[in-house]
Structure 1
Amino acid sequence: MSSLLPVADSAQVRRYARDLMRRYPRALGLTLGLHVLAAVAGLVGPRLLGDLVEAIRHGEGVGVIDRLAAAIAGFVVLQAILIRFAYLASARFGERVLASLREEFVDRVLALPLSTVERAGSGDLLTRTTRDVDALSRCVRLAVPETVIALITVALVIGALVLTGPLLALPLFVAVPIIVVGTRWYLRRAPAGYLRENAAYSTVTDGLAETVEGARTVDALRRRQQRIERSDADLRHSWIAEKYTLFLRTVWFPVIEVSYVLPVVATLLVGGWLYLRGTVSLGQLTAAVIYVQLLIDPLDRLLGWLDEVQVGAASLARLLGVATDEEPPAVAAAEPDGSRIEVRDVRFSYVPGREVLHGLNLTLEPGERLAVVGPSGAGKSTLGRLLAGVHEPTGGTITVGGVPLHDLPLDRLRTEVALVTQEHHVFIGSVRDNIAMVRPGAAEVDVRAALAAVHALEWVRALPEGLETVVGAGGHPLTAAQAQQLALARLVLADPHTLVLDEATSLLDPRAARDLERSLAAVLHGRTVVAIAHRLFSAHDADRVAVVEDGRITELGSHDELVAANGPYAALWRSWHGERIPDPGEPAAAR
């Protein structure tokens, strides 16, 4: 099972949230200011209502009563207007914050080393980019503004209650122990619970993605029942994790609901007793009861949205955690002196203690074309990924111009070495966008030249809208071979000095693949090319051939030299051409 990506700790989440708020001081100030004004406007009404009760009790004239009633109505209207603009400001502020979060998350994801993504599996990353982003979106748009509004309202209502009558504020303390104890119990358990729930979702998604992607293999190996059992187990763990967070809510919410009722009852009892003793007036008691009633809604929203805040905080921790697994950028990295690549005693293992490459040594001169051949599972693709900087050797060094590959920043590394495999992705957008994404400012003539270099310009011209035809999910469908040609065209436009082609033309028929590779060789003249292929015409055209067997380079030389040496490469060459492979002990006359 793949290991999940890291999760940021609570200190990192708080620090990031503070930094995010500081980026928009004016928008934040406007939002909070409008909500404070709306809350203050809402607090004037109960106080005026108390005065109205006193006015009626003392037999004031109709004019006084009408003025008080008009003032109450006016403040209600004013509060409605302020609330409208306050929520509008909150929505705008939330969208700006959310846009920043999404953009930064995309930057983090794109900066992740491919080895990190492969180690974690696509399921965890997919869950973070969908479910966690959605949860955080709801938190930023609704939970955070509602929580802030509720906090402001609660503080102002309590302040107004104290001003109305300090003794009438005392009954509020009845609910404090219940709220504090219940909320602390919940908050001690909720963050870890929601992190477990989100991690369980990631595991479910990862398992389903593996099953879908490998459906044919699952059927061929008759592993359907095993995959079903894996999915059942993942869903069971997810159910247990979600059941735990549901248990927390079913305990916490009823406790909080009880705490709402007690202050109202206590205020009526204590306030009535104080009124009978002449300590407070009927108007003060009326206003106090209304204020306590007004506390119920913001408290309910505050504590209710606090649950959403916990979900959002867990999601934010997972989104920030994507960046914590990145390798730190090189500090004052040395500038490569040329484009010579040297592999020195390189070893590599995907699993500790099980090496797949054993002490490889190789030098790639600038402009050289090297073909890497060998049986399946020998380590050819692993070597290619090491040369492209996808993985870091577990032993030995790989340098470009004397600088270790892993010391180069990722954006700089991609200008030095580029990898193209047989697995290609067509992005949603036009054909032009799919090619020019490696050089956003590329002119149309350069895009067309890149397509022509990979024999794709003709079929692109035949598309409904040519270069502007939308492809990818929901767009114009492309064949696997066409998708592969687009990937190669990107490579031509990117123009790195070293290219690693790992079965990059495998989806084309042999004749088209040979023509394409010869065209690429002409276009990429002067570039270093490492071609990993089973089709040996790539080796025939190369300057040198490296034969990889069992994680070691067993032969290295030109095509003619290796054929003449009559070793493993010669056997591969004859087998590929359909010639009978002679037994080494067979007499020469019988061959």
Structure 2
Amino acid sequence: MKERRVKSLPVATSKQCWAVIRELLRPRRTQAIVATVVLVAAAAVGLLGPLLLGEIVDRVDSRTGSITWPAVALLGAALGEALLAALGLTLISYLGQPILASLRERVVAKALRLPAAQIERGGRGDLLSRLGDDIAVVSEAVVEAFPPLAAASLTLLLSFAGLATIDPRLTLAALLVVPVQVWAVRWYAKRAGPAYAEERKVSGERAQAILDVVGGAKTIRALNLAGTALPRVEARSVSSIAAVVRTIRISTHFSSRLNAAEFVGTASVLVVGFFLVDADAITVGAATAGALLFIRNFDTFNIVLGTIDEANRALAALARLVGVLQVPDPPSPEPHDGAHVSLTNISHAYDGGPPVLHDIDLQIAAGERVAIVGVSGSGKTTLAKVVARFHEPTSGTAHVGDVALVTQEVHVFAGTLADDLRLADPTASDEALRAALQAVKADWASLDTVVGHGGVELTPAQAQQLALARLHIRDPQIAVLDEATAEAGSAGARLLEQAAASVLDGRTALVVAHRLTQAARADRIVVMDQGRIVESGTHKELVAAGGTYAALWRAWSAER
């Protein structure tokens, strides 16, 4: 099976990501300032621990004075740091969650506005990966990575300040760790960003491969293509695993380099502390406090770098989410009132490919029901989606009023049937919902029936009845049905055709007819061939003309 090439949706730059974050953070500046102040206070109180331990060492070493008050103060400092740190981390988490929720809503809203052709070019798997996996990665980081990262960064800065208050020379000794850390961080930064970006990209490709196989499962089984289709999924899964292993290996090597930095820094502070004590420049307690501060400092630095590993993954995911926001909005359809359709010189091609519609001129009067027929590949569905404004034509002019589209692909949303129907109109009353179900002859339905995932599994015919009921509630001036009764099978065909006729009564309608009996009842029939309208007229006129439609009708009648 030939693999489909896709052009992924864009990935945002760091500048674009920070611009979106600043915009989302702006309404919550006060909350951010309060959280920062609390974290600074927690870090400052945390510095008292090593200093008080140094005081205890000095009192024990001189054998003079009581250690009671330093011990009590040490306990108070530990409790104070814990409470302030917990409060600060909670505030940061509460700050992050609304920002994430706003980002999620923006991305989902943008995804719903994306042109269908662009989603197809990028692959639905790429978009679903961003809306699923990438949002999950960022959400996890908002809770588990970014709050500790903020707290540890502040503690790191204040710890160096604490070393300087004991003796600036201890700070200079501690700074010997910087070259080793810079070497480690540069090594990591050079590899981590691209590795995590590749991991998220491969995750999207894996999702697309799975969607392709699941969506084409019937074809794969019918043509016995499992031997070629499944290895594609396996190859994408192996690539995804390899990408994850690559990021883990980078993280492990990074940790080993940090261990070398810890050894250099600790040894430097201890050696300098020894000479300072020997020269009576500082006390043993002060040297002890300095060593403890550095070790605490390095532990904090490890927390920073450890969370940076997770933050890098989150930033790669964030860049993919913000990338969706960077896609330009499609041009808004030209406003058009009324219940008629006017297409003038319409041509359309998919993504720069050959035209699939050629010079279409079609006028549909208000209240008129027009059926489109033709062999497979003649352009019926493309024309229907141009009328439904699902595709913007490559050239020509389309004037279409309030329109809604129903296709043979129906999604049943999880929840009660009432909730599903109210997607068409959140203000619809129970009486309006029941009237819609009655109009589509859904006698099996009850408003409190749970449908979708985890609920009652609807048959194809029942799902189409639900889609037609939504159309009834939505109440557009113009309705487009693209083979909306095709999935019912012969048993439910007549029922669905009756339901469709009931819903379309009084509306302007364009119907891609799967069954010619449906076309025969239309006010007018449009026959398409190779992207062009080749015949137009009533059923009787076209049968009498003996052209393309007449041949289709004879073939259809012979099979009945």
State yes or no: 1:90 paired with 2:92.
Answer: yes
State yes or no: 1:144 paired with 2:155.
Answer: no
Where does residue 423 of structure 1 map in the other structure?
409
Alignment-mate amino acid for residue 171 of structure 2: A
State yes or no: 1:447 paired with 2:433.
Answer: yes
Where does residue 434 of structure 1 map in the other structure?
420
Deviation at 1:577, TM superposition (A): 1.7
Instruction: Give runs of aligned pairs for residues 42-81 of structure 1, distance below 5 A.
Output: 42-62=46-66, 65-81=67-83
Q: Is the 8 A contact 1:366 1:526 kept in 2?
A: no
Q: Is the 8 A contact 1:161 1:291 kept in 2?
A: yes
CA spacing shift, 1:94–1:352, aligned 2, 3 Å: closer
Q: Is the 8 A contact 1:430 1:471 kept in 2?
A: yes
Deviation at 1:459, TM superposition (A): 1.1
Q: Is the 8 A contact 1:113 1:326 kept in 2?
A: no
CA spacing shift, 1:515–1:169, aligned 2, 3 Å: closer
Where does residue 134 of structure 1 map in the other structure?
136
Where does residue 279 of structure 2 map in the other structure?
277
State yes or no: 1:28 paired with 2:32.
Answer: yes
Where does residue 172 of structure 1 map in the other structure?
174
Q: CA RMSD in A?
A: 2.2
Where does residue 354 of structure 2 map in the other structure?
354
SS state of the match for residue 556, structure 1? strand
Where does residue 394 of structure 1 map in the other structure?
394
Instruction: Give runs of aligned pairs for residues 195-214 of structure 1, distance below 5 A.
Output: 195-214=197-216
Tell me the distance in 2 between the aligned counterparts of 1:334 and 1:105.
Answer: 25
- 1:462-514 per-position Cα deviation (integer Å, ceiling 9, x unaligned): xxxx2012111111222111111001100111111111101112233558544
Q: Is the 8 A contact 1:368 1:529 kept in 2?
A: yes
Q: Which shows bigger deviation, 299-308 or 316-325?
A: 316-325
CA spacing shift, 1:178–1:56, aligned 2, 3 Å: same
Deviation at 1:235, TM superposition (A): 3.3
Deviation at 1:185, TM superposition (A): 3.0
Tell me the distance in 2 between the aligned counterparts of 1:440 and 1:478.
Answer: 22
Deviation at 1:374, TM superposition (A): 0.9
Where does residue 378 of structure 1 map in the other structure?
378
SS state of the match for residue 578, structure 1? helix
SS state of the match for residue 456, structure 2? coil
Q: 2:111 aligns with which of 104, 109, 125?
A: 109
Q: 1:256 aligns with which of 255, 258, 266?
A: 258
CA spacing shift, 1:344–1:198, aligned 2, 3 Å: same
CA spacing shift, 1:213–1:334, aligned 2, 3 Å: closer
Instruction: Give runs of aligned pairs for residues 380-529 of structure 1, distance below 5 A.
Output: 380-400=380-400, 416-456=402-442, 458-460=443-445, 466-508=446-488, 513-514=493-494, 516-518=496-498, 520-529=500-509
Q: Which shows bigger deviation, 537-546 or 176-185?
A: 176-185
Deviation at 1:523, TM superposition (A): 4.5
Tell me the distance in 2 between the aligned counterparts of 1:183 and 1:94.
Answer: 26
Instruction: Give runs of aligned pairs for residues 292-303 of structure 1, distance below 5 A.
Output: 292-303=294-305
Deviation at 1:390, TM superposition (A): 1.5
Instruction: Give runs of aligned pairs for residues 298-313 of structure 1, distance below 5 A.
Output: 298-313=300-315
Q: Is the 8 A contact 1:157 1:295 kept in 2?
A: yes
Where does residue 589 of structure 1 map in the other structure?
none
Can you give the 5+ residue segments of structure 2 that lack an aligned partner in the other structure? Answer: none
Tell me the distance in 1 between the aligned counterparts of 2:245 and 2:79.
Answer: 44
CA spacing shift, 1:233–1:216, aligned 2, 3 Å: same
Where does residue 539 of structure 2 map in the other structure?
559
Tell me the distance in 2 between the aligned counterparts of 1:483 and 1:250.
Answer: 51
State yes or no: 1:161 paired with 2:163.
Answer: yes
The two structures have a TM-score, normalised by structure 2, of 0.94
- 1:162-202 per-position Cα deviation (integer Å, ceiling 9, x unaligned): 11111111111111112123213322332222111111111
Alignment-mate amino acid for residue 205 of structure 1: A
Where does residue 363 of structure 2 map in the other structure?
363
SS state of the match for residue 468, structure 1? coil
Tell me the distance in 2 between the aligned counterparts of 1:420 and 1:388.
Answer: 9
SS state of the match for residue 507, structure 1? helix
Deviation at 1:274, TM superposition (A): 1.9
Q: Is the 8 A contact 1:126 1:205 kept in 2?
A: yes
Deviation at 1:398, TM superposition (A): 1.9
Alignment-mate amino acid for residue 359 of structure 2: G
Q: 2:557 aligns with which of 554, 573, 577?
A: 577
Can you give the 5+ residue segments of structure 1 that lack an aligned partner in the other structure? Answer: 402-415, 461-465, 581-591
Tell me the distance in 1 between the aligned counterparts of 2:408 and 2:194.
Answer: 41
Q: Is the 8 A contact 2:11 2:320 kept in 1?
A: yes
Where does residue 321 of structure 2 map in the other structure?
319
CA spacing shift, 1:131–1:516, aligned 2, 3 Å: closer
CA spacing shift, 1:51–1:528, aligned 2, 3 Å: same
CA spacing shift, 1:109–1:317, aligned 2, 3 Å: same
Q: Is the 8 A contact 1:420 1:504 kept in 2?
A: yes
Instruction: Give runs of aligned pairs for residues 223-262 of structure 1, distance below 5 A.
Output: 223-262=225-264
Q: 1:41 aligns with which of 45, 60, 63?
A: 45
Q: Is the 8 A contact 2:148 2:307 kept in 1?
A: yes
Deviation at 1:518, TM superposition (A): 4.6
Q: Is the 8 A contact 1:50 1:283 kept in 2?
A: yes
Tell me the distance in 2 between the aligned counterparts of 1:179 and 1:440.
Answer: 57
Alignment-mate amino acid for residue 349 of structure 2: S
SS state of the match for residue 262, structure 2? helix
Deviation at 1:276, TM superposition (A): 1.4
Q: Is the 8 A contact 2:141 2:314 kept in 1?
A: yes
SS state of the match for residue 273, structure 1? helix
Tell me the distance in 2 between the aligned counterparts of 1:319 and 1:560.
Answer: 55
Where does residue 341 of structure 2 map in the other structure?
341
Deviation at 1:157, TM superposition (A): 0.7
Deviation at 1:380, TM superposition (A): 0.8
Where does residue 9 of structure 1 map in the other structure?
13
SS state of the match for residue 191, structure 1? helix
Q: Is the 8 A contact 1:514 1:537 kept in 2?
A: no
Q: Is the 8 A contact 1:536 1:573 kept in 2?
A: yes
Tell me the distance in 2 between the aligned counterparts of 1:432 and 1:503.
Answer: 25
Q: 2:191 aligns with which of 186, 189, 192?
A: 189
Corresponding pairs, count = 556
- 1:192-221 per-position Cα deviation (integer Å, ceiling 9, x unaligned): 221111111111121122112212211222
SS state of the match for residue 344, structure 1? strand
Tell me the distance in 1 between the aligned counterparts of 2:190 and 2:384.
Answer: 48
Deviation at 1:239, TM superposition (A): 4.2
SS state of the match for residue 281, structure 2? coil
Q: Which shows bigger deviation, 148-157 or 121-130?
A: 121-130
Q: Is the 8 A contact 2:464 2:496 kept in 1?
A: no
Deviation at 1:305, TM superposition (A): 0.6
Tell me the distance in 2 between the aligned counterparts of 1:434 and 1:353.
Answer: 37
Alignment-mate amino acid for residue 194 of structure 1: Y
CA spacing shift, 1:522–1:489, aligned 2, 3 Å: closer
Q: Is the 8 A contact 1:371 1:545 kept in 2?
A: yes
Deviation at 1:449, TM superposition (A): 1.2
Q: Is the 8 A contact 1:342 1:398 kept in 2?
A: yes
